[in-house]
Each structure stands twice: as C-alpha cells, then as structure tokens.
C-alpha cells in the first residue's frame, strides 16, 4: 500500500486538502470584500512562488512579459470571480461551478475559435451538467 502513495499522489492529496481549507476560509470571510481576500491570497502566493522559483534557479518573470501579464490578469479576474461566488453561493454550489470551468472553456472554444468537438464529447458535457443537477 505504501508504494501507491508516491510523492506525486501525496502532493495532489495535500493540495486538494489545502484548497478545500482555503475555500472554507474564504466562505467564512463573507464580511470582508472579496477583492481584499484576493489581494492577501495573491500576496501570499507571489511571495511563496518567488521564493520557490529563485531556489530552483528559474527566472521568476520569464521572457515573454506580454504573455505573463495576460495570464496574470486573467488569473486575477478568475480568482476574483471565484471568491465572489464562494462568498455569495453555498460552498458546494460554488465549488461545483468552478469545476465546470473546463466544460465552459470547451463550449466557448466552439463559438469563439471554431474548435471541433467530437460527438462523444457532447455526451461527457451532458454527463457533467447532469451531475451538477444531481448535486443541486
């Protein structure tokens, strides 16, 4: 049984536990503005990421600044939307909506960039949305 829990699996379980804890904490901070919670979460993330990148010898700011800024802006917007959702919806509903992001991304890809979707993928989209209805 010990061989099953490789370092990768242990890290995935730890990250799941930590993200669940973060979600519960954000839910309890409903009296604070979501942007304030995002600011302090991001501040902690920047400090921790910078330290780990420096220790690994990786350039913290990369080489493609436009892409980095674009990713940072979309990530910040996503985090703001998620934290607002956590504060205003029941915890299970907010997390379920967040886990549907890949389905929304695929559907937007169809409309925005003409991404092709195989028929069996529609089945999985339907199953995902059906699961949401069961949770509700």
C-alpha 97/C-alpha 118 separation (Å) is 23
Condensed to tens digits (0 to 9), the pLDDT of residues 95-119 reads 888 888 888 888 888 888 988 888 8
User: What spatial distance separates the first Cα and last Cα of the chain, rounded to whole Å?
Assistant: 36
Q: How would residue 38 be classed by pLDDT, with cut points 50, 70 and 90?
A: very high
pLDDT of residue 43: 93
Q: pTM to 2 decimals?
A: 0.72
């Amino acid at each position: 049984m010990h061989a099953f829990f490789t370092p990768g699996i242990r890290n995935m379980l730890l990250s799941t536990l930590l993200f669940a804890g973060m979600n519960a904490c954000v839910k309890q901070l409903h009296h604070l503005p979501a942007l304030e919670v995002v600011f302090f979460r991001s501040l902690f993330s920047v400090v921790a990421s910078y330290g780990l990148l420096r220790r690994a010898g990786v350039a913290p700011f990369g080489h493609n600044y436009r892409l980095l800024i674009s990713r940072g802006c979309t990530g910040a917007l996503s985090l703001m939307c998620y934290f607002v959702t956590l504060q205003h919806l029941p915890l299970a509903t907010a997390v379920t909506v967040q886990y549907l992001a890949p389905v929304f991304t695929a559907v937007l890809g169809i409309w925005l960039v003409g991404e092709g979707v195989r028929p069996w993928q529609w089945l999985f989209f339907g199953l995902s949305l059906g699961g949401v209805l069961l949770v509700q």
